[in-house]
Amino acid sequence: MSNNLFSSYTLHNGVTLKNRIVMAPMTNFSSNDNGTVTEAEVNYYSRRSHGVSMVITACTYVTPNGKGFPGEFAADHDDMIPSLQKLAEGIKKEGAKAVLQIFHGGRMCPADLVPDGDVVSASNIPATGENNPVPRALEEDEVEAIIDAFGETTRRAIEAGFDGVEIHGANGYLIQQFFSPHSNRRDDQYGGSLEKRMAFPLAVVDKVTETVRKHADFPFIVGYRFSPEEAETPGITMDDTLQLVDTLADKKLDYLHVSLTDYQSKPRRGVEDLTKSRLEYLLETINDRLPLIGVGSIYSAEDAKEAFATGVPFIALGRELIIDPDWVEKLEAGKEEEIVTELNKNRQEELVVPDPLWNIITNTPGWFPGIK
């Protein structure tokens, strides 16, 4: 089975990926205060780009009021293109395709990171939990401006030399906030029925793909990441997501990417058979129209083989590539027993992890295996 992980795959647009292993997008908190990429970040990505077929970067914000994290790099204006170019080159020179994840944090943005503390969302519903800001509902013209901003950021990614973009419609950020009945209580064209809640995500997809047609003179990858369910009531159900995925699978996308903490996880509601995994439902719905990337708690070679055996065409590794940047090469060379699956606190320099990310990892017990 592991040999199949090293078979190539040609996407709809003609781009061939050398194997079925992708670096998952992970926030790294390590950019400069002005939104430019640091040398430490470029080195971090380069160190992990020689084995995988594709690297999906940490998310970058498309407008100033979309910044979701301290130390997040920017792509919201043309002055950022040289910074983005450094990141693209650092990944590509090691042999992986470089994909820029583009996003807007919406109501998840800390007020101190956005201009005038003006946190925005689909509606004025705060995220669940304590001390979350009450967002301001976006006006229709502001919604359209953000859709346009996703297109402009895609143009910058093309000009910076990236091989593609991933639209971040997962993990509770703005695109998901429009799709969710919890965060979207609008009664205009962008809210209400399931179809209307899909309007913003689909408009972003259309704007991005239109931008690629207009500006890319080479095959440019467009992917879309989504979360299958929300815990809140009302909230996104598995059935809602299957309807969204069914619609996305007919769009001019190159892949879909499901955000899961565990690739074996099962639906909580919205479908008849709760014993089938979310991946099984998704693969059935997509029905080979485009590839799905599966992710979540893949550390050992055995984990990877089991995840790949579900039929998912690609697996994404996140935390494991921080723990062992040589994971792919070790598996390919048949040195599975040499794969490291717990983080060694004394190896920061060797692992090439920037200080801000390292400090968060080593001070968050339970997030990474080996950190207690």
Q: How confident is the model at residue 3 (pLDDT cuts 50, 70, 90)?
A: low
Residue 352 within a domain: yes
pLDDT at 266 over 70: yes
| Domain range enclosing 83 | 4-362
Residue 369 within a domain: no
Contact (CB, 8 A) for 198 and 125:
no
Say whether 222 sits in a helix, a strand or coil.
Answer: strand
Listed residue (25, 23, 30) closest to 354, CA to CA: 30
Take residue 283 and report the two structure tokens written for it. 């693969």
Give me the chain's average pLDDT, please: 97
Amino acid 1: pLDDT = 40
pLDDT at 186 over 50: yes
Residue 372 within a domain: no
CATH number of the domain residue 164 falls in? 3.20.20.70
Contact (CB, 8 A) for 38 and 30:
yes
Count of domains observed in the chain = 1
Residue 309 within a domain: yes
| Share of residues in the chain with pLDDT > 70 (%) | 99
Q: Using CA atoms, how far apart are residues 78 and 100, in angstroms rounded to an integer? A: 15
Sign of CA dihedral 174, 179, 180, 185: positive
How far does the chain reach from its first CA to its final CA, in angstroms?
33
pLDDT at 2 over 60: no
For 126, counting Cβ atoms within 10 Å of its Cβ (0-12 exposed, 13-18 middle, 19+ buried), the class is middle
Per the annotation, the verdict on 190 as an active-site residue is no
Q: How confident is the model at residue 207 (pLDDT cuts 50, 70, 90)?
A: very high
Q: How confident is the model at residue 296 (pLDDT cuts 50, 70, 90)?
A: confident
Q: Using CA atoms, how far apart are residues 237 and 231, in angstroms rounded to an integer? A: 9
Contact (CB, 8 A) for 84 and 57:
no
| Amino acid letter, residue 11 | L
Residue 175 within a domain: yes
Residue 333, number of CB atoms within 10 A of its CB: 10
Q: How confident is the model at residue 196 (pLDDT cuts 50, 70, 90)?
A: very high
310-368 pLDDT, tens digit each: 999 999 999 999 999 999 999 999 999 999 999 999 999 999 999 999 999 999 999 99
Residue 218, number of CB atoms within 10 A of its CB: 11
Candidate list 44, 173, 190, 281, residue with the active-site label: 173
Residue 368 within a domain: no
Query: What single string gives the DSSP state of each residue in 47-108?
Result: HTSSSSSEEEEEEEESSGGG--STTPPB-SSGGGHHHHHHHHHHHHTTTPEEEEEEE--GGG
